[in-house]
Amino acid sequence: MSFVHLHVHTQYSILDGQASIENLFNRAEELGMPGLAITDHGNMYGVKEFFKYAAKHPSVKPIIGCEIYVSKGDHRVKEKGYYHLILLAKNYNGYKNLMKIVSTGHLEGMYYKPRVSHEVIEKYHEDLICSSACMAGEIPRMILAGDIAGAEKAIEWHKRVFKDDYYLEVMLHKTEVPGLSLEVYEKEKEYDEVIFDLAEKHGVKVIATNDAHFVRKEDGPAHDRLICLTTNAYIDDPDRLRYTQQEYLKSEEEMAALFPGHPEVITNTLEICDKVESYSIDRGHVLPKFQIDPD
């Protein structure tokens, strides 16, 4: 058995991800993982480089994705509030549809973040795999707010659109940093438990992810300083944004230890990896056409 990280932020998650693509592939190969996803926040800036290093690591299948921002209503309306959602391309057609969704967010839905509506997702959903993302996802937020009926409605919508290519995510980040709050871990435990129940009720498979933002455990302090730059905060500010420093590319054994009663959340990542076809995004030069007067 093995495991595939399907929720991964590179340095192209600007001022949030600290993982270099080269180091991610080196580590994934070192851990014997058959695939690796890129799911940067709201953009696909790193895709070309991702394929470049994938070619140097043929044992690790590249999985192209994005953690998109989903508006609560019409994405063209400038109002605050959005959810996170993971989309992964199954093949070249899915890759093109993912580009259309991300581009729509930047061209039509930019308001603090490049947002798209559910309608845009449904329009371009073909050949995409979808998962429910982190605590900022629609379903975890509804669960934590006590709106179980709303969470079920959201699951039903995504399942209708993506069918068997829709998965629910669970994650656990129990910090080992002295003095750091366990609030994130406690909230994750709370909504994970409900997700397992709702997954069984609605016939949706569950995957374990780690929302990786850096490569190795020892990179945690460096990532913490990056977040200080992002939020314009001093490192000794007790009220600043902090990650748990568990958001790294964990091994299969580390991930399995988080969910000992649910081995399927590990094997289901392999199912997704198997669904993804190998394809190339390389093409020749695209030059403008000029009408030349034959005379």
For 185-213, the pLDDT digits (tens) are 999 999 999 999 999 999 999 999 999 99
Domain that holds residue 201: 21-275
- Residue 1 pLDDT greater than 80, yes or no: no
**Closest-CA residue to 131 (of 162, 178, 85):** 85
Give dist(CA 115, CA 106) in Å, integer: 7
Find the CATH number of the domain harbouring 247: 3.20.20.140
% of the chain at pLDDT higher than 90? 93
The pLDDT, as a whole number, for residue 179 is 83
For residue 14, is it within any domain?
Answer: no
DSSP-derived letter for residue 210 is -
* Sign of the four-CA dihedral 237, 239, 241, 243: positive
288 or 71: which leads in pLDDT: 71
Residues comprising the chain, all counted: 295
pLDDT band at residue 171 using 50, 70 and 90 as cut-offs? very high
**SS3 category, 24:** helix
* 190's tokens: 């709370």
User: pLDDT of 229-240, one tens digit each?
Assistant: 999 999 999 899
* Sign of the four-CA dihedral 263, 269, 275, 279: negative
**Closest-CA residue to 211 (of 99, 143, 261, 136):** 136
Contact residues for 293 (Cβ-Cβ < 8 A; gap 6+): none
User: pLDDT of 256-291, one tens digit each?
Assistant: 999 999 999 999 999 999 999 999 999 888 888 888
For residue 232, is it within any domain?
Answer: yes
User: pLDDT of 115-168, one tens digit each?
Assistant: 999 999 999 999 999 999 999 999 999 999 999 999 999 999 999 999 999 999
The pLDDT, as a whole number, for residue 255 is 98
pLDDT band at residue 49 using 50, 70 and 90 as cut-offs? very high
The pLDDT, as a whole number, for residue 294 is 81
For residue 253, is it within any domain?
Answer: yes
The pLDDT, as a whole number, for residue 220 is 96
pLDDT (mean) for 26-50: 98
* Contact present, 234 and 228 (Cβ < 8 Å): yes
Give the chain's domain count: 1
For residue 295, is it within any domain?
Answer: no
For residue 115, is it within any domain?
Answer: yes
For residue 130, is it within any domain?
Answer: yes
For residue 35, is it within any domain?
Answer: yes
For residue 291, is it within any domain?
Answer: no
